[in-house]
Amino acid sequence: MSSSRFPASGEDRGRAGLQVGTLDSLLDSDDISRRRRIPLGLAALGLGALIWLPCVHLFFQPDDSVDRARALAAHQLRLWQDPAARAVEIGKLRGSNAEWDFMARTYLVLALSNLALSEPAAGRERRLAQIDRIIDETLRLEREEGLYFFLMSYARDRPFVVQPPRSLFLDGEIALMLGARCMVKSRPAYRALLRERVAAMTSRMRAGPVRCAESYPDECWTFCNTVALAAIRIADVLDGTDHGALLAEWVRTARQRLVDRGTGLLISSFHLSGARRDGPEGSSIWMAAHCLQLVDPTFARDQYRRARAELGRSILGFGYAREWPRSSVGPVDIDSGPVVPLLEASPASSGLALIAAAAFGDATFYDQLRASLDFAAFPIERDGRLRYAASNQVGDAVMLYAMTLRRGPTLWGEAARRGSGPGREGAR
């Protein structure tokens, strides 16, 4: 029957009220339980994150085996064997920066030289043939295309202060390539070319107010000058010559006039007079410290220690490097590359930090940097070749060189072993 026609008794109304009250209580209880479950769930997620996140980097532990280095070298060399693929890659590099085309050659030659030192006779000869091809083509392009082919376009905007024009960027890295090759096995033609480059570099560096030479018109770069110093030191080892006085004077002058007062780091660029242009930069100091190992190991380690403190960073086992110290932030440019906001992480600085960390035996920082690389740069392995999807030819060459500093004999170690005086103590 319809309840609307017959009023409920008091007992019925009581049971109904009890049922409604029970339902309201259950609803309230469920709502309270839900409100409790949300923070509990969030707390559980947070606890899980605290346990899990610090372990993520363990899945990206570096593999620096010789086979992996050879796989990375194999991809680089395939570009030298496949003209079409090489043209595409070189087009990309030169479209961004003509220097990268040149620097990719330098780092590849350095890496192949390190690999050659650890291989038996047949493998060493194969590596030497690969190195010779790179050097010969580089020399041909410089000869046929001229001074500006490997420089950025602004090099033409004004004349070099010292005439006739020369770039220490080109002279230093070509000399280092020649010297690296001859450290593995002497070649008379290359030895002669190396002596010519060293004579040109030392003449201009001695004449400079701060014992440095131009890379661009009225622009001296610490990166280029320290590469030149390393090449001069290797030439001394090969030829028995002695430029120790010039090397020592360079370090003495740099300590007095080319060091940033706030950080103690070498500034990255300056005018021929020594007047500062750009402060310390990660894209410069890491390689500079490595090169200085052959010149003044104590000063080199001091620069690495300072760079590590000012620029090196890690989060949850992943490492990276800033481009600038916090006290001296510079503009984003082609050298720094895109800088990740908030973290201020620089791919260029981080890549070159790999070289320095390997060269100075900083295994902790090296492993952290490599974890970031394998996590964020997307390694691709195929048919015995390795490349990084987020990198390019020069980036892969830098990584390859860093890998070769971790295993077996190295050029720097050979220079220290064969030579005497500056560069013996502490060089790897």
CB atoms within 10 A of CB 315: 14
The per-residue pLDDT for 11 is 45
Sign of torsion, CA 193 199 202 205? negative
Report the range of poorest mean pLDDT among 28-32, 169-173, 363-367. 28-32
Provide the sign of the torsion angle of the four alpha carbons 64, 68, 70, 73, taken in this order.
Answer: negative
Tens digit of each residue's pLDDT (9 = 90 or more) over 207-249: 999 999 999 999 999 999 999 999 999 999 999 999 999 999 9
Distance CA 418, CA 428 (A): 12
CA 296 – CA 304 distance, rounded (Å):
12
d(Cα 274, Cα 248) in Å, to the nearest integer? 17
Instruction: Name the DSSP class of 28.
Output: H
Over 90: is that where the pLDDT of 419 sits?
no
pLDDT in tens, 89-131: 899 889 889 999 999 999 999 999 999 999 999 999 999 999 9
User: Which two structure tokens, joined as six digits, stand for 250?
Assistant: 């360079």
Q: What distance in Å separates the CA atoms of residue 134 and residue 129, rounded to the nearest whole number?
A: 9
* Sign of the dihedral defined by the CA atoms of residues 402, 406, 409, 412, in that order: positive
**Residue 50 predicted with pLDDT over 70:** no
Query: For residue range 299-342, what is the model confidence (pLDDT) as tens digits?
Result: 999 999 999 999 999 998 999 999 999 887 777 766 666 777 77
Percentage of the chain exceeding pLDDT 70: 81
Of the listed ranges 2-16, 29-43, 85-99, 109-123, the one predicted with least confidence:
2-16
3-state secondary structure of 217: coil
Quick: pLDDT tens for 76-93: 999 899 989 888 989 988
d(CA 331, CA 184): 40
Would you identify the CATH topology of the domain 70-410?
Answer: Glycosyltransferase (1.50.10)
Query: 42 pLDDT band (50/70/90 cuts)?
Result: low
Distance from C-alpha of 267 to C-alpha of 282, rounded to nearest angstrom:
10
Mean pLDDT, the chain, integer: 86
pLDDT at 146 over 80: yes
Q: Please state, in angstroms and rounded to a whole number, the distance separating the CA atoms of residues 223 and 266.
A: 10
What was the pLDDT predicted at 177?
Answer: 98
What pLDDT, in 10s, does the model give residues 362-396? Answer: 999 999 999 998 888 888 888 888 888 888 999 99
pLDDT, tens digit (0-9, with 9 covering 90-100), for 249-289: 999 999 999 999 999 999 999 999 999 999 999 999 999 99
- In 10 A of CB 14, how many CB atoms? 11
The whole-number average pLDDT for the span 180-203 is 98
Domain ranges of the chain: 70-410
Token pair 């007992």 in the structure block, residue = 11
Question: Which residues are CB-neighbours of 70 under 8 A, at least 6 positions away?
Answer: 115
Q: What angle do CA 193, 196, 198 make, to 5 degrees?
A: 110
pLDDT digits (tens, 9 = 90+) for 148-160: 999 999 999 999 9
How much is the pTM?
0.83
Contact 401, 180 (CB under 8 A): no
Is residue 46 over pLDDT 70? Answer: no
pLDDT of 24 higher than 70: no
* Residue among 180, 253, 202, 195 nearest 410 (CA): 180
3-class state of residue 30 by DSSP:
helix
Q: What is the pLDDT of residue 230?
A: 98
Are the beta carbons of 387 and 379 closer than 8 angstroms? yes
Whether the Cβ atoms of residue 306 and residue 263 lie closer than 8 Å to each other: yes
Which DSSP symbol is given to 295? Answer: T
Predicted confidence at residue 12, as pLDDT, reads 47
Pairing of strands 269-270, 385-388: unpaired
